[in-house]
Amino acid sequence: MVREEILQALLRVEAGENTLEEVLNRKMKNKQDQGLYREILKGIYRHLITIDYFIHSFLKKKNQKLHLPIQMILRMSFYQWMYLDKIPAHAIVYEGVELAKKVGHRGSVGFVNAILRKATAQKLDPEALHFNSLEEEIHIKYSLPVEWTRYFIKNYGEDWTLDFAKNSVKIPDLHLRVNTNKISSQDLKNSLKKEGINLVDLKGVCQGLEVLEGNIFETEEFKQDLFYVQDKAAMMVAEFALEKEEMIERVLDVCGAPGGKSIGMSFLNPDLEIFCCDVTKEKVDKIKENLHRLDLNQVKALKRDGRNLSPRERDAFDLVLLDAPCSGLGLLRRKPEIKYNRTLKDMKSLVKLQRQLLDTSSQCVKPGGKLVYSTCTLSKEDNEMMLEDFLIHHKDFDLLDQKVLNLNEETDGFKMFKLVKKC
């Protein structure tokens, strides 16, 4: 049953009817099925290029086109055989063939049966493959599209790109920020321990915890919103923005949905008056929902286009945070679909929007106030080059500080910059 759901979800994603995120949000009655559904779907997109490479190695003709449902059945089956240890070969073949009976004709059932029998009779190990170049190795072994592989090699070199690609296919740890409005970090740890959840403090962030063991989503503490799930890197943007800042009262979060950075800043300093904005009603509703859940009354959610300035916003904020829309390549561990959906061309078109947002945001900062610019991507166009260009055209700003978090075992990839507006 769950495999049929996975097949339907894959077909909807491939047809462009739903995004991966949308199909992943599907709720199932059985928790175990839900876990497997999510794991297989996300895993397939994490390793898509590698899986397709192996599937093609079993086909008679090079570049053979497969009937879409049959291709999806093979992707699911190969993923399970290559990346999950608990599912035996006979179960993978049986399930694959049963699915093929539902969506294919007799010939395709035989085809699936033959390929899966051959494939599951051996170990399919990407580590054992040999490549002609490191570029090819990164592309196939770590499922990084050629365009991004070349882009990163050109900008950061082969070693950096290899490291980035290796980390981009890992399953991220689960981090959470304690809702200090409702509970202290120690009390939350003690209380979750009684439910079998093992947590440790996250180094480098206040009130951040890492889950070592247990399902936090099934706990009473989750239902009571005693914490907010967020990667350490995203938490660090809020820390970076408020670090060494004692005089801040009013904050504008320009691109705020779903509210992660505003929530983080508010937990760090509950006295701040924060305006958390985004451009569409749906996005603002999402912010409101999160704020309501966490009881954060000191944060206000507003619909606002960050490119437009109203006169009362000029020089009005002690801190303006622009967590800009970007190519998102620092998030590949949790959103693997990004690497296939975003292109270099998309990235270049976002630069124009980022430049406009940065220019308008800078006008909202009080003299002596701070402007923080952050992205969850690692490309230079969205980051260093954007800032260089901004500083050339805005002589009233100085760069105070910057931090780069590479995508690695500990965090998503983020870059952040703090500027001060001269008095």
Ligand X SMILES: C[S@@+](CC[C@H](N)C(=O)[O-])C[C@H]1O[C@@H](n2cnc3c(N)ncnc32)[C@H](O)[C@@H]1O
Give me the least distance between CB of 275 and ligand X, in Å please: 12
Q: Residue 13: what residue type?
A: V
Q: In this structure, what DSSP letter does residue 382 have?
A: T
Catalytic pick from 255, 277, 364, 376? 376
**Smallest distance from the beta carbon of 260 to ligand X, in angstroms?**
3
145 binds ligand X (CB under 6 A): no
Identify whether the C-beta of residue 156 lies closer than 8 Å to the C-beta of residue 86: no
CB nearer ligand X, residue 208 or residue 256: 256
Query: Which span (134-142, 202-210, 276-284, 401-409) binds ligand X, by CB under 6 A?
Result: 276-284
Q: Under the criterion CB under 6 A, does residue 279 sit at the interface with ligand X? A: yes
The long-range contacts involving 193-196, CB below 8 angstroms and separated by at least 24 positions, are 195/219, 195/220, 195/221
User: Can you tell me the distance from the alpha carbon of 350 to that of 327, in angstroms, rounded to the nearest whole number?
Assistant: 8
Q: How far is the CB of 325 from ligand X (least distance, A)?
A: 4
Q: What is the DSSP string of 309-337?
A: --GGGTT-EEEEEEE-----GGGTTT-TT
| Whether residue 206 lies in the annotated active site | no
Q: Which of 300, 303, 266, 263 is nearest to 283 (CA)?
A: 303
Q: Are 339 and 377 in contact (CB under 8 A)?
A: no
| Distance (Å) of CA 77 to CA 55, 120, 224 | 10, 9, 39
Q: How many residues bind ligand X (CB under 6 A)?
A: 18
Question: Measured on CA atoms in the order 109, 6, 338, 140, is the torsion positive or negative?
Answer: negative
Please state the closest distance from residue 114 (CB atom) to ligand X, in A: 46
Residue 269 C-beta: closest distance to ligand X, Å: 16
Nearer to ligand X, 51 or 237 (CB): 237
SS (H, E, C) 206-249: CCEEEEEECCHHHCHHHHCCCEEECCHHHHHHHHHHHCCCCCCC
Closer residue to ligand X, CB minimum distance, 76 or 291: 291
For residue 306, state whether it binds ligand X (rule: CB under 6 A): yes
Residue 214 interacts with ligand X (CB under 6 A): yes or no:
no
Only one of the segments 215-223, 244-252, 303-311, 387-395 lies at the binding site for ligand X (rule: CB under 6 A); that segment is 303-311
Closer CB to ligand X, residue 261 or residue 418? Answer: 261
Nearer to ligand X, 75 or 335 (CB): 335
Q: What is the DSSP letter of 126?
A: G
Task: Give the tokens for residue 95.
Answer: 């399930």
Which of 157-165, 177-185, 188-196, 304-312 is the region at the interface with ligand X (rule: CB under 6 A)? Answer: 304-312
Distance CA 260, CA 5 (A): 31
Which is it for the CA torsion 76, 82, 86, 89, positive or negative? positive
Q: Which of residues 363-402 bind ligand X (CB under 6 A)?
A: 376
Among 307, 355, 366, 380, binds ligand X (CB under 6 A): 307
Asked whether 81 and 61 are in contact (CB, 8 A), the reply is no
**x/- contact string, 245-274, with ligand X (CB under 6 A)?**
---------xxxxxxxx-------------
The whole-angstrom separation of Cα 243 and Cα 252 is 16
Sheet holding 365-375, edge to edge: 299-303, 273-278, 250-253, 317-323, 365-375, 414-421, 397-405
Q: Is 335 in the site for ligand X (CB under 6 A)?
A: no
Going residue by residue from 282 to 301, which x/- string records binding to ligand X, judged by CB under 6 A? Answer: -x------------------
CB of 77 or CB of 379, closer to ligand X: 379
Strands 299-303 and 273-278: parallel
Query: CB-side exposure of 238: number of CA atoms within 13 Å?
Result: 25
Residues 33, 135, 210, 305: which binds ligand X (CB under 6 A)? 305
Q: How far is the CB of 365 from ligand X (least distance, A)?
A: 16
Least distance CB 94 / ligand X (angstroms): 43
Q: In the complex with ligand X, which residue's Cβ is closer, 181 or 191?
A: 181
**Pick 70 or 254: Cβ nearer ligand X:** 254
> From the CB of 203, what's the least distance to ligand X, in Å?
21
Chain residues in the site for ligand X (CB under 6 A): 234, 254-261, 278-279, 283, 305-307, 323, 325, 376
The residues annotated with a catalytic role in the active site are: 376
